[in-house]
Amino acid sequence: MNKAIVLGATGGSGQVIVSELLNRGIEVIAFGRSQRKLNALMEEHDHNPNLTYKLGDIFDHQTIIEAAKEAEIIFQCANVKYQEMKDKLLLLGESVMKAADSLGKKIVIVDGIYVYGRQVAKGDESHPHHPHTKKGKTRVEFEQLIFSPEWKRAKALIVRLPDYYGPTSQNSYLQPTLEGIAANKPSIFIGNLKTPREYVYLPDAAKMIVNIAEREDSYGENWNVPGAGLISGKEIIHIARQITGSQKPIIPLTKSAIRFIGLFDLFMREIVEIMYLTKEGFILSGEKYEKRIGPIPKTAFKKGLEETLAILMRKE
């Protein structure tokens, strides 16, 4: 791969994939709709000559076609708001796949684990897709769209991430907790503090995603992108407090509390149906990646949190 385009390049996963590609000497086109955010991304990379950008609308496949003509691989990192998922996710999928098919390109779709529903075994890529939530069912439809036989020329794959964190993270469940600790302010933790959960450090995820994308035999398949292991919210807070010295209170939000807040906040209202993940957790198996690609990058939680909190504290 010599040149790639990253759709949603200024988002949490988009930024780390841009960085990983540049680190490998690959030319990158950053695609987004905000001139301000794209300019900030260029400055973040000191106007690296391998990085250019294109303004465009993810829902307009023609703008993607124009931007992606010279790219070998399309990385689809754009997303929609929780409260707009039902109405807009399939429109997004259709737009990016139309563009990839028109150009005959490879396309890597970055997605989550809602398609699986409740865990019945350690989640490898063959785990049943029997979601019990509206968002999960929408994501199954999205997957079916991506792998539809309608697309004759595009080659697609889907990478699935668990909860994540990292210096570029923006909308993860852990974000308000870490932002509060970095600012030395009271904050919240979404879910049960005692449940061990899986989190992937975004720079690790980017390495795995690009490794998968570079393999010709990866396409047409789902791929898990697992984290470094399990950790509870209590342990995360303990480590973060050691790093920052902050001792401000952190309030765990249960399903009932979030349901109440959701009466006044659309985003929190949408979180309620997927709170099962914060209580039961979901563990992704990385066996397929290890067998076909190689060792899984596993940044220790302490190091990952140090790097994340350092960035957040600089923003304060």
Predicted structure pTM score: 0.94
Describe the crossing of helices 233-244 and 301-315 by its angle, rounded to 10 degrees: 60
Domains plus CATH for the chain? 3-164+199-226+283-298 (3.40.50.720)
pLDDT by 10s per residue, the chain, length 316: 999 999 999 999 999 999 999 999 999 999 999 999 999 999 999 999 999 999 999 999 999 999 999 999 999 999 988 778 888 999 999 999 999 999 999 999 999 988 887 766 667 888 888 888 888 899 999 999 999 999 999 999 999 999 999 999 988 889 999 999 999 999 999 888 998 999 999 999 999 999 999 999 999 999 999 999 999 999 999 999 999 999 999 999 877 777 777 777 777 776 776 666 777 777 899 999 999 999 999 999 999 999 999 999 987 6
Decide: 78 and 53 in contact? Cβ < 8 Å: no
Distance CA 154, CA 101 (A): 4
Buried b / exposed e along 102-114 (16+ C-beta atoms within 10 A): bbebbbbbbbbbb
Whether the CB-CB separation of 182 and 305 falls below 8 Å is answered with no
